[in-house]
Structures are given as structure tokens and as C-alpha cells.
Amino acid sequence: MAPFSSKWTLLFGVSLLVVVLDQVTKALVTAFIPLNGAIPVIQGFFSIVHIQNPGGAFGFLSAGYSGIKRVFFLAGTLFAAVLLLVLFRRLPRQYVFLRAGMALIVGGAAGNFMDRVRYGSVVDFLDFYWGALHWPAFNVADSAVTAGAGIFLFHLIFKKVPG
């Protein structure tokens, strides 16, 4: 078996695609929408906004900001990425869907990690709401992490994932 097998190609390909989509969409938002600005797309339901989120996915721990919180998020991301890579390496070849889910998580984590290193916060821009009720704004990276985690949970619940 070649040292760079198709399982690693899947990981790097999916992760790279997520990072590119994430960074391009964030660059477009920051270039065309002022900070805290909004463009309504579907009135009363969806807007594209420009928010800087110093917290985690979907605004988790976003209240206040400190250097300790930044270190926590950067270290947590690195730890999770290493853990996922170890699990990914041990995962049998037949779990392609699960490996793709893990690649989504790695790509999403990498996209938000890049923002945290460069800016100390993450650009969020997808804003869904109903009247005054808003889901926390999010981005492509958050979406990838959520989809990947959903795939991971699906396998834990319905498939027999090796331990």
C-alpha cells in the first residue's frame, strides 16, 4: 500500500475544499459588508451579515474576550485535530462516509483556526432568524464541523464503529 493512500487523499481533499470555501466566503463578506452590517436575502428569515465572533462555533463562549480564551480555543482546536487524525488513521478503509465526516470536521476546524490565528476572532456571516428570534450567526467552517459531527454521531449510534 502506498504511503499516501486514497483514505488520506479523501481527508486532505475534503478538508482543503472546506478551508478554501470557508476562507473565500469570509473574504467576500469582509470585503463587501461592513462590520455588523447585513444584507437581507429572505426578509424575516435569512440575511448575510458580517460579525466577528471571538467565541466558538455558533457563538459559544463569545461573551467577553481575553487572551486566555484565545489560547483555550487555539489549543482545543489543535488537540481535537490531532485526536481526529489519530482516529482517522486507525479507522478501517470501509468507513468512507465516516472518514468524510471526520475530514469535514478537520477542514472546518482548520478554517476557523486560521481566522483565530490571524484576527483573534472568526468571521460569521450566515444569519437565520424568525422575527426577533435569531440562531447564532455561523460560517462555512461551522457548517462543516456540524455536518461532520452529525455523520460521526450517526455512525456511533447506528453503525458498529471499531473501538
pLDDT surpasses 60 at 129: yes
Residue 163 inside a domain? The answer is no
Pick the catalytic residue: 22, 115, 127, 142?
142
Pick the catalytic residue: 22, 115, 124, 127?
124
Comparing 4-8, 56-60, 100-104, the range with the smallest average pLDDT is 56-60
Q: Is 82 exposed, middle or buried (0-12, 13-18, 19+ CB in 10 A)?
A: exposed
Residue 142 is among the residues annotated as catalytic for this protein: yes
Residue 124 inside a domain? The answer is yes
Average pLDDT of the residues in 2-14? 77
Confidence at 82, pLDDT banded by 50, 70, 90: confident
Confidence at 5, pLDDT banded by 50, 70, 90: low
Residue 124 is among the residues annotated as catalytic for this protein: yes
Residue 13 inside a domain? The answer is yes
pLDDT surpasses 70 at 159: yes
What total of structural domains would you count in the chain?
1
pLDDT surpasses 50 at 2: no
- pTM, two decimal places: 0.82
pLDDT surpasses 90 at 156: no
Range of the domain at 33: 6-158
Q: What is the mean pLDDT of the chain?
A: 86
Look at the chain and count its residues. 163
Residue 1 inside a domain? The answer is no
Residue 65 inside a domain? The answer is yes
Residue 118 inside a domain? The answer is yes
Q: Are the beta carbons of 36 and 51 closer than 8 angstroms?
A: yes
